[in-house]
Amino acid sequence: MKFVHIADMHLDANFNSLNCIENLPEKRRLEQRKIMKKIIDYIKENDIEYLFIAGDLYEQEYIRKSTIEYINKLFEEIPDTKIFISPGNHDPLLKNSFYNTYNFSNNVHIFGKNIEKVEEDGVDIYGFGFTDFYCKNSEIENIKIEDKSKINILLVHGSLDGGNDDYREYNPLSKKSLNKLGFDYIALGHIHKKSYDEEIDQRIVYPGSTMALGFDELGTHGMVVGEFTNRDLKLDFVRLDDREYKEIEIDVSKMESVSDIVQEIDMQDTNSTDFYKIILTGKRSFKIETKEIRRLLDNDNIVKLKDNTKIAYNINEISLQNDIKGMFVKKVLEKYEANLIDKETMEKVIEYGLEVL
């Protein structure tokens, strides 16, 4: 039995991080369609029996009917492949969602708010879908597998072993509890970083997002392909997104002008495929305007500039000056020494204040 496991495609996402370049967000949305076509072509070429989509297939807020029609036509191209969808927090099974209002291909099954089991030849597939943008308890961990002689698969969108408030809002799951259920494979979605080969014979898997959506999703993105031979499971990762988001740090401490920064950025080893975020660090002795730097750059693939530099002030020396700058710095230092503000706040207040003065 062969399957493809994808999640977090976020079709028609707004790609806010790419707004600095005209038409780039729309181009990226078109690339999402191409990636969906890649998945379907792979399924055709490799006789894949099941496609598991573990939530956030699209963005409820932005999805266009034309996009739904496009992916459904692709689904119709693989009539012998059973497609199972577990709606997530970005594409919940709302009353007005396309999952409820659009007539999907006959080979598509969409899970709802009640845990459901679908019986296939030699395989039982269990699933659950979000019916709102939040889910605090799906009761997945109470499932009792009915036929352990078959391959049993669970498809669900949720947060595994998190500890913050976000984790508790999006179907919190415990790896320990999931392992006790006895599933042969648990196809998860929600976390955009892939996790499929971190342990021997791993059966609880996040494929990660099929496409990187921003600079918080570095590295390669794609899908997980699995094949059961009796109870033995072989997993592979197939890259789908030709692009990567990458970060480059540049220390400006020894530079004397914006021109030096631009020259250093131009010398970086970049390519025309990936998107780059330049992070400026170190102590600076001149004013930096990221908009000015961007205007001077020739490389359109540098889509974000972040200024993490600090002004190279000698705070103690300035505090001894008998002028308004010295008085200002001395007052701020007094607040810091009295534990009224922390060091980071103190440094920022002095930096911003001295720039104004």
pLDDT at 166 over 90: no
Residue 352 has pLDDT above 90, yes or no: no
Mean pLDDT of 13-18: 84
What average pLDDT does the segment 210-235 reach?
A: 93
Q: What are the structural domain ranges in the chain?
A: 2-239, 245-311, 315-356
Whole-number Cα distances in Å, 114 to 43, 90, 128: 29, 18, 6
State the pTM of this model: 0.85
Helical axes 324-337 vs 343-356, angle rounded to 10°: 170
pLDDT of residue 350: 86
pLDDT exceeds 60 at position 334: yes
24-45 vs 65-76: helix crossing angle, rounded to 10:
20
Asked if pLDDT for residue 163 goes beyond 60, the answer is: no
Of residues 354 and 339, the one with the higher pLDDT is: 339
Cα–Cα distance between 26 and 24 in angstroms, integer?
Answer: 5
Mean pLDDT within 193-204: 89
Reported as half-sphere exposure (CB side, CA atoms, 13 A), residue 305 has a value of: 21
CATH class of the 2-239 domain in this structure: alpha beta
Mean pLDDT of 41-65: 97
Query: 3-state DSSP helix/strand/coil percent for the chain, to nearest 5?
Result: 30, 25, 45
pLDDT band at 298 (very low <50, low <70, confident <90, very high): confident
H/E run at residue 4: strand 2-6
185 pLDDT above the threshold of 80: yes
Band the pLDDT of 128: cuts 50, 70, 90. Answer: very high
Q: Per-residue pLDDT tens for 249-277?
A: 999 999 989 999 999 999 999 998 999 99
Give me the mean pLDDT over the 81-98 stretch: 97
